[in-house]
Amino acid sequence: MSDGREVHGNQWYGPQPNVAGAAGYPDAPPRMGFFTDTSVCIGCKACEVACKEWNAVPEDGLELTGMSYDNTQGLGADTWRHVAFVEQRKPFGGQEPGVRHEDTDVFAAAARLGTDAASPGPGATAPPPGHAPEGAPAGRISPLSPDGRTELRWLMASDVCKHCTHAACLDVCPTGALFRTEFGTVVVQEDVCNGCGYCVPACPYGVIDQREDDGRVWKCTLCYDRLGAGMEPACAKACPTDSIQFGPLDELRERARGRVAQLHAAGVTDARLYGEDPRDGVGGDGAFFLLLDEPEVYGLPPDPVVTTRDLPDMWRHAALAAATLVGLAVGGFVGRSRRA
């Protein structure tokens, strides 16, 4: 394990309040990011579609996974936003989901369809009263039994590149194709990338990947082109519930803390932030989340660490090993008799 000792912050690890400045931008705009509040995500996948449309990300197969409504499966070269669907046997907690209708007799209301002023008028698709469709039970609709399904909850979360403060993909890129923008985000220059693939296993979140027929790597750019024109990224623009919020990271963090407090007060004790802490293993994420369960339930690593944290130590050990190899060779030549 690599955490047996106290790791002091170095250039590649620890809090970094001025990411763009450290990357060489003297007068950088505020660091921009995403706050994805999964408690209001409705799983509509508008973010996935908007991202694909705006960034001209190619189609990558229409596959039915059979595991949930999630047929996108995960982030990759051709998926820069991914909506996770988690179905759990767990009560809502103290949360008021707003889906209870004890006070309303929906069946009585349905029986009145077309007969009173409150019901749909001409053009409504409901059959006129007294003309029930063939095979339908006459006069009333039988309610479904609840079948114990009140204990079920859906978690939906739109995942994206985290635009880490200390981005392993950027650190290990040998060509300089990956770079830090003035907004503090991490972007691949497609005219430079030679498809070495080093960033793919370096990413602790499994975000960036190689496009097979293209050879280069691709990931979310936080819509660098739109940011430059003062627009918000396509996914945030398309999100109908503001589950995806875009803005200066400082503001988003403050807003997120308020939202967690609000949810806790409402009895949703599961609510927690993920990736907002600048003291975490990647120095905090530029795109962070409000989750309603442990990160791994959503397919996120619970405690990611930028691999470059240990790189100075790795080089030291490699140097020692190289010296050892020289030692072996010397041992081979000076050992025993000269004539052997």
**DSSP-derived pairing of the beta strands 272-274 and 244-248:** unpaired
| Position 202 contacts other proteins (CB under 8 A) | yes
| Position 19 contacts other proteins (CB under 8 A) | no
| Position 332 contacts other proteins (CB under 8 A) | yes
* Closest CB 291 distance from other proteins, rounded Å: 12
| Position 22 contacts other proteins (CB under 8 A) | no
Interacting residues with other proteins between 151 and 170 (CB under 8 A): 155, 168
CA atoms within 13 A on the CB side of 62: 0
The sign one gets for the Cα dihedral 205, 210, 216, 222 is: negative
Q: Quick one: 279 exposed, middle or buried, by C-beta within 10 A (0-12, 13-18, 19+)?
A: exposed
**DSSP-derived pairing of the beta strands 217-218 and 209-210:** antiparallel
Measured distance CA(172)–CA(199) in Å, rounded:
6
- Of the pair 109, 326, the CB lying nearest other proteins is at 326
| Position 196 contacts other proteins (CB under 8 A) | yes
* Closest CB 143 distance from other proteins, rounded Å: 21
Stretches 24-32, 114-122, 241-249, 325-333: which one binds other proteins (CB under 8 A)?
A: 325-333
* Closest CB 245 distance from other proteins, rounded Å: 23
Measured distance CA(238)–CA(316) in Å, rounded:
48
Interacting residues with other proteins between 56 and 95 (CB under 8 A): 65, 67-68, 70, 73-76, 84, 86-90
- Of the pair 73, 119, the CB lying nearest other proteins is at 73
Q: Of the candidates 32, 203, 223, 244, which one interacts with other proteins according to CB under 8 A?
A: 203
How distant, in Å, are the alpha carbons of 166, 189, 202, 306, 311 from that of 11? 9, 23, 17, 12, 11
Interacting residues with other proteins between 222 and 281 (CB under 8 A): none
* Closest CB 187 distance from other proteins, rounded Å: 16
* Closest CB 68 distance from other proteins, rounded Å: 6
Measured distance CA(263)–CA(130) in Å, rounded:
48
Contact (CB, 8 A) for 65 and 73: yes
- Of the pair 242, 313, the CB lying nearest other proteins is at 313
